[in-house]
Amino acid sequence: MVSLFDGIENGELEQLLPCLGGRRVLFDEGEYILMAGDRADQVGMVLSGSVLVFSDDFWGNRTILAHVERGGLFGEAFSFARVECLPVSVTAAEKTEVLFINCERIITVCPSACEFHNRLVRNMLKILAEKNMTLTQKIGHMGKRTTREKILSYLSEQAKKAGGESFTIPLNRQEMADYLAVDRSAMSKELGRLKEEGQIAFHKNQFQLLKAELR
């Protein structure tokens, strides 16, 4: 579901897209979509595939800020904040198609005063609010003191999203370590301990929480 266009019918969308100046671009897995330092003047919408939003420090240490799947947006906060240059980079996590929209076209009423524009702005405000909540959750994970607590906090959130004790996470091991800002080796060892203790079970990206209350 493309939340930016929620409540807008296909016929209406055909009228709306031209005034947004949208353009579609295909990217291969691992290809850069946006790079830190690029101008922050466009919003990206994932039409298919998924993307990773991350930042690298001076020494090349990477922190994954978000994994954006089909229907999700990226770059909107920096664009609307009128940040001159992007402080983050975005790559395709798999073969991905992106729709780029100029941010000014979203917040500025088009010359034809199309009736769908107000709905679009309301949808964007909702998306920004939801992104703020997601960031708060990430801060909650990273605020835990130990690697074990960070892992359990993240897995608990994923279980709640899935609505059950079994779920599939969207990140591989390195991406999960980068997202939680922990050492990959230490994280892998902690996952192994949790499995030995019977608190979790996993195979690749498929996980299961085995106890109602985790230490």
pLDDT digits (tens, 9 = 90+) for 9-57: 776 677 777 777 788 999 999 999 999 999 988 899 999 999 999 999 8
The b-or-e profile of 155-186 (16+ CB within 10 A means b, else e) is bebbbeeeeeeebebebeeebbbbbbebeeee
Average pLDDT over residues 105-112: 68
Residue 151 DSSP one-character state = H
User: Of 18, 160, 134, whose CA–CA distance to 68 is shortest?
Assistant: 134
Q: Where are the alpha helices (DSSP H) in 10-163?
A: 10-20, 76-80, 103-107, 117-142, 147-162
- Give 111's pLDDT tier (boundaries 50, 70, 90): low
pTM of the predicted model as reported, rounded to 2 decimal places: 0.72
What is the reported pLDDT for 27?
98
In tens, the pLDDT along 43-92 reads: 999 999 999 999 998 788 899 999 999 989 999 888 888 888 999 999 99
Question: Rounded distance, CA 215 to CA 210, Å?
Answer: 12
Residue 78's alpha-carbon distances to 30, 51, 107, in angstroms, are 22, 17, 14
| Cα atoms in the 13 Å half-sphere on the side-chain side of 40 | 19
pLDDT for 2? 61
- What residue ranges define each of the domains in the chain, with the CATH number in brackets? 3-130 (2.60.120.10), 143-209 (1.10.10.10)
Instruction: Output the average pLDDT for the chain.
Output: 88
pLDDT at 215: 45
Quick one: pLDDT band at residue 110, thresholds 50, 70, 90?
Answer: low
Which amino acid does the sequence have at 5?
F
Taking CA atoms, 116 is separated from 11, 13, 23, in Å, by 11, 8, 19
Higher pLDDT, 215 or 132: 132
